[in-house]
Amino acid sequence: MTDSSNQKFLIVRREDFSDVTFLLEISHPMMARAAKPGQFVIVMSHAEGERIPLTIADFDRERGTITLVIQAVGKTTLEMQRNCQVGTALYGLAGPMGIPSHLSDAKKVVCVGGGLGVAPVYPQARAWKESGAYVIGVLGFRNKDLLFWEDKFRAICDELIICTDDGSAGIRGFVTDGIKLALEKHPDIEEVVAIGPPVMMKACAEATRPSGVKTMVSLNPIMVDGTGMCGGCRVKVGETVKFACVDGPDFDGHQVDFDDLMIRLRRYKEEEQVAKERWSETCRMRGIGSEAVSVN
């Protein structure tokens, strides 16, 4: 049921890419006008819901919408997968937050997205293209069934390298293999932007370290308020401690302490699993389990 008081957060389009990944397009003209590549929002799906940070995957100023691409892995995102349908509305949507991605004067760049990270790297790739840069896209998925937005990237990239773990689409390998191909072919690449799981971003930074190519990554640590007050999103960058929500989310990948970041991300795994199991059990008792989720 849609709360008429929340019409400004109305979901106007939904697309399911797989059984766990889905897209929500939300009507919010003011946010669409303000949004810039690299920024994120804090979402509450209902009044008693958890506050979760989600990177803005796209925005359309003419339509007055922002796009979020979500992976249903925990209690809140599974709940959103089940309940967030066209015509319903989000309870809360705050943003855009974070420092927009800085576009340097680089003339040739590589934009790398791994898995769900493919979505948030898209606005950056588009912005680079609009600035006149030569854009090489490198997208990584486990297999071809999880691939999405290939057409969107081909429309803005001068070259596109698709990588899959099993070789079912594009080249067989990881995004680091795609980066190496791009660097071999284009020794004049000036910057790499990588978004995805921390282990992937760490590998990307290591792949570019020998050549010294500037490599920016977008971090999404545990976050509560998105204003720097809770301190949950602190990350180590070089010799300093930064807060991803107000100092980022973009940082120099060669300076980020990814090992510390990954330890922090695992800190609440047990509590997250308990919450997920408790929610799933409640759904089964009510007869509204995962079979009720519609996948297009």
* Cα–chain center distance at 132: 24
The rounded distance, in Å, linking the Cα atoms of 242 and 269 is 23
The rounded distance, in Å, linking the Cα atoms of 27 and 12 is 6
> DSSP strand E in 61-189: where?
65-71, 92-97, 108-114, 134-141, 159-164, 171-172
Judge whether residue 288 has pLDDT over 80.
no
The rounded distance, in Å, linking the Cα atoms of 124 and 57 is 9
What pLDDT does residue 268 have?
Answer: 61
The rounded distance, in Å, linking the Cα atoms of 121 and 111 is 7
Instruction: Give the confidence band of 6 by pLDDT, cuts at 50, 70, 90.
Output: very low
More confident residue, 221 or 48: 48
Mean pLDDT of 9-23: 92
Q: Spell out the domain ranges in the chain.
A: 4-97, 108-218
Judge whether residue 202 has pLDDT over 50.
yes
Report whether 128 contacts 190 (CB < 8 A): no
The CATH classification number of 108-218 equals 3.40.50.80
Instruction: Give the confidence band of 273 by pLDDT, cuts at 50, 70, 90.
Output: low
Q: Are strands 134-141 and 159-164 parallel, antiparallel or unpaired?
A: parallel
Residue in this structure with the two tokens 């997250």, named with its chain if needed: 272
Return the structure tokens found at 235: 């990350």
The CATH classification number of 4-97 equals 2.40.30.10
Residue 47: Cβ within 10 Å count:
8
Instruction: Give the confidence band of 158 by pLDDT, cuts at 50, 70, 90.
Output: very high
Residue in this structure with the two tokens 């302490």, named with its chain if needed: 257
Q: Give this prediction's pTM.
A: 0.84
The count of C-alpha atoms lying within 13 angstroms of the C-alpha of 63, restricted to the half-sphere facing its C-beta, is 13
What pLDDT does residue 294 have?
Answer: 40
The rounded distance, in Å, linking the Cα atoms of 179 and 234 is 28
Q: What is the pLDDT of residues 49-99, one digit of tens each?
A: 888 889 899 999 999 999 999 988 888 889 899 999 999 999 999 889 988
